[in-house]
Amino acid sequence: MRVISDTPLRDFCAEHPEAHDPAWAWRPIVVETSFHDFAALKQAFNSVDKVGDYYVFNLGGNKYRLLAAIHFNRQMLFVRHVLTHKEYDKWKP
């Protein structure tokens, strides 16, 4: 799957350096795998959820949330937001 825009990851990790390792550990798994639907995504990332139009990944032992828009038919994942758990609790889809 192709990840579109690493900018949200880079920006978040610059602000939260402790998130660097979990955030960048997530990326190669996505890039090296073709997910054809949510079920396949769920097999690789057990904690992923669909909230509104976004797929929400837990990173760093549930400390961070990565919100992505995914187009399975085009094999494209758009990183929209990376948030702390506290920020995510305030976020509305």
- Indicate the pLDDT class of residue 92, thresholds 50, 70 and 90: confident
Structural domain includes residue 42: yes
Question: Residue 20: how many CB atoms within 10 A of its CB?
Answer: 15
User: What is the token pair recorded at 13?
Assistant: 């990790």
Q: Where are the beta strands (DSSP E) in 1-93?
A: 2-4, 49-51, 54-59, 64-71, 76-84
What pLDDT shows up at residue 30? 95
What pLDDT shows up at residue 75? 97
pLDDT tens, position by position, 45-88: 999 999 999 999 999 988 999 999 999 999 999 999 999 999 99
pTM score, two decimals?
Answer: 0.92
Identify the CATH number of the domain in which residue 35 sits: 3.30.2310.20
Structural domain includes residue 34: yes
Structural domain includes residue 18: yes
Q: How many domains does the chain have?
A: 1
Residue 19: domain span: 2-88
